[in-house]
A = this chain, B = another copy of it.
Amino acid sequence: MTTKIALLGFGTVGKGTYRALTQNAAEIERKTGKRIEVKKILEKNPAVIGSGLAPKELFTQDFDSIVNDPEISIVAEIIGGSEPATTFMLRALRAGKHVVTPNKAVIAANYDMFRQAAAENGVQIRYEASVGGAIPVIETIRKSLVANRITKVQGIVNGTTNYILTKMEEEGMSYGDALKQAQESGFAEQDPTADVEGIDSANKLSILIAECFGVYIKPTELDRTGISKLTRDDLRLATQNGCKLKLIASAERKEDGSIEAFVRPTEVPQDSPLAAVRNEFNGILFSCNMADKIFLSGRGAGMDPTGSAMAADIISLAK
């Protein structure tokens, strides 16, 4: 049984998703009995279309030909940014197609709207790749911890800032030098604002709060401090205190039901699993009333890790 899907965009994550589905197709079929066929790819960049990474005849510049194709049951949005990503996702949901996306900014900004649009049209919107990249964060909350009251979630959910802080701590670099190295190594954008000011982490925290506690708080309403004002002395002080300084996204559900949440540089004790998350890796620690502490870590970004999470959602949705 073959499920036909479309990719919107064929940048880094688009290629990773395509690779995960095609390169491991035999493995996927052995494990699940499912076949996934990428029927169309929305992309206008001629260099990308001509790259040879996917057959030329898959590419189209016409979104209508995707949303009106009754054979396509799943649409993977990998354009990034706010528009046209938001409009395309809504149109796909309203056309009765499942949507899969790694777009944390768009999901966090429109969580309720997307969930409602999906429910109204009897389809699902999935975004495992939006928090923690390849790490099974959403799946763990929804499935493995379903019989728990999650009381707290703490995460290192931005690889750029964790890379910078690791370099500052382990190699005594200044913030500026560490940022520069992150940019040269491909772990930071030329404009690093969204990462270093904690905006990306706040988007992910908004999604985590919604998933863990069933309450939607806009990312712009979350208490947020970035790392751009940190100095080597701040890192040294943390070491002296037996801790590591990490950019932590944290949310706790209090006894009275209120939620205390923030993104902030935080001293993490050396014996916390979060202290062992180095460089560009991510880590998430759940506190729960039955499972106690559950910790997950891995790569939070990148072509193949994000493609792995996108593919997992797509395969899970495939009939």
- A residues near B, CB below 8 A? 16, 19-21, 23-24, 27-28, 30-32, 128, 134-136, 139-140, 142-149, 214, 271, 273, 275-276, 278, 288-299, 302, 304-305, 307-309, 311-312, 315-316
Q: Which residues from B are CB-within-8-Å of A298?
A: 291-295
Complex Cα gap A140–B312 (Å): 10
Contact among B134, B290, B305 for A20, CB-based, below 8 A = B290
Report the minimum CB–CB distance from A66 to chain B (whole Å): 22
Are A147 and B28 touching (Cβ within 8 A)? yes
| Chain B residue at smallest Cβ distance from A314 | B147
Are A146 and B293 touching (Cβ within 8 A)? no
| Extra pairs beyond A31-B142, A290-B308 (14, CB < 8 Å) | A28-B147, A32-B146, A134-B291, A134-B292, A136-B143, A139-B144, A143-B312, A147-B308, A273-B273, A273-B297, A290-B304, A290-B305, A291-B309, A292-B299
| Chain B residue at smallest Cβ distance from A278 | B271
Complex Cα gap A315–B32 (Å): 20
Are A290 and B307 touching (Cβ within 8 A)? yes
Are A148 and B24 touching (Cβ within 8 A)? yes
Are B146 and A312 touching (Cβ within 8 A)? yes
Complex Cα gap A308–B291 (Å): 6
Are B146 and A311 touching (Cβ within 8 A)? yes
Report the minimum CB–CB distance from A35 to chain B (whole Å): 12
Q: Which residues from B are CB-within-8-Å of A148?
A: 20, 24, 27, 308
Complex Cα gap A293–B276 (Å): 14
Contact of A134 with B290 at beta-carbon distance under 8 Å, contacts A20-B148, A139-B144 already known = yes
A-B residue pairs in contact (CB < 8 Å), sample of 20: A27-B146, A31-B214, A134-B292, A136-B144, A136-B145, A139-B140, A143-B143, A143-B312, A144-B312, A146-B312, A146-B315, A271-B278, A275-B276, A276-B276, A290-B308, A291-B304, A292-B299, A294-B297, A295-B295, A295-B298
Complex Cα gap A92–B24 (Å): 35
Report the minimum CB–CB distance from A201 to chain B (whole Å): 20
Q: Which residues from B are CB-within-8-Å of A308?
A: 144-145, 147-148, 288, 290-291
Complex Cα gap A290–B305 (Å): 5
Q: Which residues from B are CB-within-8-Å of A289?
A: 23-24, 304
Report the minimum CB–CB distance from A130 to chain B (whole Å): 14
Q: Which residues from B are CB-within-8-Å of A28?
A: 146-147
Complex Cα gap A19–B149 (Å): 12
Are A290 and B24 touching (Cβ within 8 A)? yes
Contact of A295 with B294 at beta-carbon distance under 8 Å, contacts A28-B146, A271-B278 already known = no
Q: Which residues from B are CB-within-8-Å of A24?
A: 147-149, 289-290
Are A16 and B290 touching (Cβ within 8 A)? yes
Are A294 and B147 touching (Cβ within 8 A)? no
Contact of A139 with B139 at beta-carbon distance under 8 Å, contacts A20-B147, A297-B295, A305-B291 already known = yes
| Chain B residue at smallest Cβ distance from A270 | B276
Are B136 and A139 touching (Cβ within 8 A)? yes
The 8 closest A-B pairs by CB, nearest first: A147-B311, A136-B144, A134-B291, A290-B308, A291-B308, A20-B147, A294-B298, A276-B276
